[in-house]
Amino acid sequence: MSEAPRPARETLRPDLEVIAGWIPAGARVLDLGCGDGQLMGWLEQSRGCTGYGVEIDDAEVLACVRRGIDVIQQDIEAGLGMFGHGQFDIVVLSMAIQATHQTEKVLREMSQVGSEGIVSFPNFGHWYHAWSILRGRMPVSREMPYEWFDTPNLHLATVRDFEDFLERLGLVITGRAFLADGHPVRTLPALRATQAIYRFRRAAQDRSG
Amino acid sequence: MSVPGSVGQVVPQRMYFDAPLDLRSGAALAGYELVYETYGTLDASRSNAVLICHALNASHHVAGTYGDDPKSAGWWDNMVGPGKPVDTNRFFVVGINNLGSCFGSTGPMSPNPATGAPYGPDFPVVTVEDWVHAQARLADALGIERFAAVMGGSLGGMQALAWAVLYPERIAHCVAIATAAKLSAQNIAFNEVARRAIITDPDFHGGRFYSHGVVPAHGLQVARMIGHITYLSDDSMAAKFGRLLRPAVQAREADAPASEPGDAAAAAVRSDYRFTFDVEFEIESYLRYQGEKFSKYFDANTYLLITRALDYFDPALAHDGDLAAALAPATADFLIASFTTDWRFAPERSREVVQALLAARKRVTYAEIDAPHGHDAFLLEDPQYLQLVAAYFDRIHARCVGAART
């Protein structure tokens, strides 16, 4: 019960390391589906950032409080109405978009609440997934370790799908990075990346809104 | 880590204040007395003080027991004590009985210096803000410049919020549980029904019942019954009582305490109605018992005063309803918590507070505890709730007390 807050200087998950590298010092950050608050903890300690995690799971909320970061217990699909427009410099959604029901609504709200959004997701277009389906099996991989009958994943996308989606929402891609099992991928990322990470902002004409 | 325990036997203390206290109503109290208890030790740097604010029917007796009577345990004994979430091995915890209450601090039962007779209905209407100002004077006298945390549930949470706004430099953390930044119309309505029950009791005598040697017991009972209904969730009431009928023998004794559901099931379960308006269902027996118990220890004028303080609390009122503007002066970090089945102070009310704190760019953590017990949950054992508060107080300790030592 009297366990002291854990030091936040720990090795970040590879996609979170990429995300952290994109976030400027002192930024005001909202981390949606923040889990145990690893990213927010690191950003506060190492970058002097401020902000909140948003998490629905009881155990993760408790882990955030133990870590000493501020967390708002809420289902992100219930809407981000609690957060005012433009309240944050950066809104992060890491490895959670594929489990959202109302993916379009979540992305729209992200782009309203923050000046810039960052999303990481498992790339369904990875060659192994195609190979698995060719062999007649739904793919099960490190980023998607679930059998088809008990997966939380609803909206899986390939790199190209996701880029089209951002364009359709009027969002401009300002950065992209690809990882394969935690290591950067530069050639043929659409086929070789297991994780994709995008940063984006509203198109210039409606950035004021 | 020691096994969580009790602070042990405690003795209430009293402090008299002779400087007049100006009240929000425009009235003033010439002098007043506050009863309080403390647990743990104030450290040399005076950085480890925690103020616990009480709700409607509680008092300064937050933790520990009087003498060795286990039934006299404080109202938040599961929260405050050695090894408990608010750990008295680390924190100096203060509980204060509010002005107008009936547990020893100056209130309607106290002698009015102008007449020598009890104040009764002449005791001025006090507000949450008035209480906070009175508490601040007690903190001055105890040598506490700044609380590491001010904490409360329900009406106590309102006091914690008021502290953060009225004395921003004197509160490092605000822990407000199962509370609201203002009552809803429905909530005021419940209070009004309770007040009407008291005021229309023939034994109320316009609030001067002391000199008649009576108390408006029936009014207090009804007030408590309706209050109690709103503290429980529909589900917890269904689980505890359902439509169980009172066993025939006990049904004749209307004031017999309600037995546990297990006992009721073990007793001869009736399925036949008796076709009377006497106690028939277990829930009726339970409410009557709670009402009668309450009417024997609680003052009717205090009930009116405290429900009014609840009604009047609305820090956003002076800011055209803008709660974020009202909370702007606060510099504390906030922990706001609500309970999913609480419909008297619903999660939605806590979310309004959180939304305003976010808009005002305050540091805030919000937890929505999935508990079945309704509003009462803030007083009960729930692992997620107690662990969360414990973890937050670890943070408070690291930031306030640990920092002061280095």
Q: How far is A30 from chain B (nearest CA, A)?
A: 11
Q: Which residues of A touch B384 (CB under 8 A)?
A: 58, 62
Is it the case that residue A206 has pLDDT exceeding 70?
A: no
Q: Which residue among B342, B350, B376, B397 is the active-site one?
A: B342
Q: Is B212 a catalytic residue?
A: no
Q: How far is B307 from chain A (nearest CA, A)?
A: 30
Q: Which residues of A touch B4 (CB under 8 A)?
A: 1
Q: Which residues of B touch A74 (CB under 8 A)?
A: 366, 368
Q: Look up residue B331 and give its amino acid.
A: T
Give buried/exposed letters for B200-218 (b at 16+ CB in 10 A, else e): ebebbbebebbeeeebbbb
- The residue whose two tokens read 């809420």 is A74
Residue predicted with more confidence, A136 or B171? B171
Q: How many Å separate Cα B25 from the centre of its chain?
A: 22
Q: What is the pLDDT of residue A124?
A: 79
Q: Which residues of B touch A84 (CB under 8 A)?
A: 358-359
Is it the case that residue A204 has pLDDT exceeding 80?
A: no
Q: How far is A176 from chain B (nearest CA, A)?
A: 30
Mean pLDDT by 10 residues, chain B (406 residues): 80 97 96 97 97 96 94 96 98 98 97 94 98 98 98 98 98 98 97 98 97 97 97 94 81 49 53 90 96 97 98 98 98 98 97 98 98 96 97 96 70
* CB A195, CB A121: distance < 8 Å: yes
Between B358, B370, B398, which is nearest A58 by CB?
B370
Between B1, B333, B384, which is nearest A62 by CB?
B384
Find residues 69-108 of chain A whose CB sits inside 8 Å of chain B: 70-74, 81-84, 87
CB-count burial class (<10 Å; 0-12, 13-18, 19+) for B48: buried
Between B4, B366, B394, which is nearest A72 by CB?
B366
* Collapsed DSSP state (helix, strand, coil) of residue A89: strand
Is it the case that residue A185 has pLDDT exceeding 60?
A: yes
Q: Is B60 a catalytic residue?
A: no
CB-count burial class (<10 Å; 0-12, 13-18, 19+) for B59: buried
Q: What is the pLDDT of residue A1?
A: 42
Average pLDDT, chain A: 90
Residue B208, C-beta contacts closer than 8 angstroms, at least 6 positions apart? B120, B121
Q: Taking residues A52-61, what's their average pLDDT?
A: 98
Q: Look up residue B56 and give its amino acid.
A: L
> C-alpha angle A153/A158/A161, rounded to 5°?
105
Distance CA(B382)–CA(B388), nearest Å, equals 10
Q: What are phi and psi of B259, to 5 degrees?
A: -90, 165
Q: Which residues of A touch B365 (CB under 8 A)?
A: 64-65, 70-72
Q: What is the pTM of this model?
A: 0.93
DSSP B255-267: TSPPPPHHHHHHS
CB contact under 8 A, B387 and A61: no
Q: Is B205 a catalytic residue?
A: no
Residue predicted with more confidence, A123 or B362? B362
CB contact under 8 A, B398 and A83: no
**Sorting pLDDT into bands at 50, 70 and 90, what band is A143?**
confident
Q: What is the pLDDT of residue A131?
A: 86
Q: How many CB pairs under 8 A join A and B?
A: 73
Which stretch of DSSP H or E encloses residue B317?
none
Q: Which residue among B47, B105, B110, B154 is the active-site one?
A: B154
CB contact under 8 A, B384 and A72: no
Residue B319, C-beta contacts closer than 8 angstroms, at least 6 positions apart? B325, B326
Q: What is the pLDDT of residue B1?
A: 44
